[in-house]
Structure 1
Amino acid sequence: MPTDPSLLAAAMDVPLVDHHVHGPLAHDVTRRELEMLLTESDREIPAGTTVFDSQVGFAVRQHCAPLLGLPAGASPEDYLARRSEHTAAQLAHIFLERAGVSDWVVDTGFGTDAIWSLERMDAELSGRTHEIVRLEALLEEVAAGASAADLQERFEAAVKHAAQHAAGWKSIIAYRYGFDFDPARPGACEIREAAQRWLGGRSSDAEDDVPLRVDDPVLLRWLLHVACDTGLPVQLHSGYGDPDLDLHRCDPLLLTNWLREVEHTGSSIMLLHCYPFHRHAGYLAQVFPHVYCDVGLGINYSGAACRQIVSESMELTPFSKLLFSSDAWGPPELHYLGSLLWRRATAAVMSEWVENGDWPAAEAARILRMVGRDNAVRVYGLEGVRAE
């Protein structure tokens, strides 16, 4: 069924808030490096295969090639040759500016040496930037100069300080442990004992440049409770990701008891990505007033098939609880595709519902803007705010 042209035009005009994103690549990459960055796997690509023979690879060739002056569907060789004529900075400007994003809500806690900083995004892009502070990274930074006895005080002070400028928090407990953690808030003695295990396990002759990595479940769940104390939104990676996680332990339904524990804090819990558990996330967003969700990341990697994911994400999720994100990191094509594919898919899905007589035609554009922009502006308090 063809998409309603007027609804597609409305979708393309929405100034999106990308409520979870990272910076674009700060350096040029080879074909192999680019292909590795177009998959969530960290394993070598099998000989005789290419990532360009995948949904995301087809999306790059179909939708990104025209921005470089090539026909849609250009061959990988032609695309890579034309791409190599541009610097990383030029590519970032081409693709990010065409994404139509007014506000980038940036997770600054991962791979920062390889990508643009929040400050550079703020200085060079037309969209505003807002910082999401990664809790595990903040604890690891604080722990470098702390003892087990004073870690709690130091971290809670650091959170209080960061809350003065942060738009919200991000946790990767899904990677470091999983969602099947004890939902109760740990006490001071439990935190101190966990800190002793963590910091005490670091050898005295450890190299200064070897980073600490927090994976103790007591400390990880303590971070979440401290973040919720601030009342700011807390983002949680959920579902699909790289092989460093155990996907079956990243089902957001495992968070149910913890969601009850923190409901009183007033902090909004933002379930990120969620695929293939996006229906589970939609249920949680329906039954808990403080839970929100998106299907970012999965949209890019499912390419032409993302319409079904978008449709399924709107089965139970209240429209006021669903947000847009790209979760783009690195190749700037992902920042652009996250926007374009979401706009096209959402307009197509809504057009079908209107055509079938299941939706009032006059409401589709309003809901599209709500999901793409208005919900994030409300939850993160972005109206009139600019990152310093």
Structure 2
Amino acid sequence: MDGLPPLVDHHCHGVIRYAPDAGTFAAFLTESDRPPAAGTTYFDTQTGFAVRRWCPPLLDLPAHCPPEEYLARRRELGPAETRRRLLSATGIGAYLVDTGLPGDLTGPDETAAAGGGAGHEVVRLEALAERVAADYRGSERAARAGEFVDALGRAVRAAARTAVAFKSVAAYRHGLALDPRPPGPDVVRTAVRTWLGAGAPRLTDPVLLRHLVQLAVATGRPLQLHTGFGDPDLRLDHADPALLTDLVRATADTGTDLVLLHGYPYHRQAAYLAGAFPHVYADVGLSLTHTGPRATAVLAEFLELAPFGKLLFSTDAYGLPELYAVGSALFRVALGEVLGGWVASGAWSAADARRVAAMIAAGTARRVYGLAGVNDGAGNGK
């Protein structure tokens, strides 16, 4: 859609610094963490076709060129130049980067610099807790539960001073049907003793996940919550955003905004919650990247119930700069087709369509996350 302000990618990840081989590249085109079935490739997906549609021209190749030709050109240019070309073509002006994933990935500043934008950090709560737990090693770790709890609280508060938001992946670690009540201090310490005593493995204890959510809510920073589809590490039916209804009610008067990420195929539930509760917002990212030419239909479904100032653009790009290019391109096309169609039918005015487009593209994210240059298209501030 023409005339949009610089996009705010309110949820994304770093980009790999190395040149991937064909198998590694293709693995980033899917949410699966498994190899493709024999005789198939992840290039034969909506995401794979979208990459071949939008990215080759940015590397001086024809659209839809074969994957082998595209990857050869990528190797010729090198990772840094490929990253610069792809990210600078997205129209993204601000990158809110979740830094909780492992690997040799670019951070917020490096990612944003390649695209000519500004970088901001989103802190993943579970990864933060696991880093704090690394300091509580040895045979006495379980006896130091109270000390760990205090250290974790300090770490969350310290992160809130520089991060623009927190993120929880409780959907992966347990599911979204969490008790919305803050767990009591004794219950938390008991859970910590068990976790530390087991060697502080991957954090899946529902008590500690609830405690992390409550710590984040207390800071006043927006809290992003993964909902909907992802890799096979989650149970899809446990990631329905409707399961968060009790938590949404319990946090209604805290002053903290909740941002429901992804949503698909439960994006209508996310849109409903955004419409029913003033502090809830819904993200349209990732869903569009993985639905390709059907992104127009998916975006229209988001817009059925959600107030227009409650939706936010993102790419959820991870690993490949191509996913930034695809996510932003599909968003522009889908937004133009949906809103343009409504204008053509007489349902909307052109002025209203431009205003709503600016909200979703950037203005609402700037307002919710407190970014400089707030302008959500509606004259609202926060």
Q: TM-score range by the shorter chain?
A: over 0.9
CA RMSD of aligned residues (A): 1.4
- Structure 1 stretch 228-237 or stretch 256-265: which is displaced more? 256-265
Q: Distance in 2 between matches of 1:54 and 1:229?
A: 41
1:70 to 1:125, Cα distance in 2 relative to 1, 3 A? closer
| 1:149 CA drift (Å) | 2.2
Q: Distance in 2 between matches of 1:28 and 1:72?
A: 21
Select which of 51, 58, 63 maps to 2:54.
63
State percent identity of aligned pairs.
47
Q: Distance in 2 between matches of 1:135 and 1:68?
A: 37
| 1:81 CA drift (Å) | 2.1
Q: 1:220 matched to which residue of 2?
A: 209
Q: 2:2 matched to which residue of 1?
A: 9
Q: Distance in 1 between matches of 2:75 and 2:294?
A: 29
Q: 2:298 matched to which residue of 1?
A: 309
Q: After superposition, where does 1:148-297 map in structure 2 within 5 Å? A: 148-202=145-199, 212-297=201-286
* Equivalent residues, number: 367
Q: Distance in 1 between matches of 2:88 and 2:16?
A: 15
Select which of 97, 112, 116 maps to 2:88.
97
Q: 2:33 matched to which residue of 1?
A: 42
SS of corresponding position for 1:102: strand
SS of corresponding position for 2:121: strand
Q: 1:128 matched to which residue of 2?
A: 118
Q: Distance in 1 between matches of 2:162 and 2:177?
A: 31
Q: Distance in 2 between matches of 1:239 and 1:117?
A: 25
**Larger RCO of the pair (alpha carbons < 8 Å, separation 6+):** 1
Deviation per CA, 1:100-144, whole angstroms, max 9, x where unpaired?
Answer: 111001101112x22112242355441001111111111111112
Q: 1:298 matched to which residue of 2?
A: 287
Q: Distance in 2 between matches of 1:183 and 1:9?
A: 43
Q: 1:139 matched to which residue of 2?
A: 129
Q: Distance in 1 between matches of 2:157 and 2:2?
A: 43
Deviation per CA, 1:329-361, whole angstroms, max 9, x where unpaired?
Answer: 001100111111101100100111111111112
Q: TM-score, normalised by structure 2?
A: 0.93
Aligned-partner residue type, residue 86 of structure 1: L
SS of corresponding position for 2:104: coil
Q: TM-score, normalised by structure 1?
A: 0.92
Q: Distance in 1 between matches of 2:333 and 2:155?
A: 41
Aligned-partner residue type, residue 82 of structure 2: L
| 1:91 CA drift (Å) | 1.2
Deviation per CA, 1:269-318, whole angstroms, max 9, x where unpaired?
Answer: 00001111110001000111100011211111111111111110100000
Deviation per CA, 1:169-222, whole angstroms, max 9, x where unpaired?
Answer: 0000000000112111101000000001111122xxxxxxxx731110000011
Deviation per CA, 1:26-57, whole angstroms, max 9, x where unpaired?
Answer: 11101011111111111111222122222111
Q: Distance in 2 between matches of 1:303 and 1:158?
A: 40
- Structure 1 stretch 142-151 or stretch 97-106: which is displaced more? 142-151
Asked if the contact 1:284/1:291 (under 8 Å) is kept, the reply is: yes
List runs of 5+ in structure 2 lacking aligned partners.
137-143, 375-382
Q: Distance in 2 between matches of 1:22 and 1:374?
A: 21
Asked if the contact 1:25/1:92 (under 8 Å) is kept, the reply is: no
Asked if the contact 2:54/2:325 (under 8 Å) is kept, the reply is: no
Q: Distance in 2 between matches of 1:144 and 1:24?
A: 26
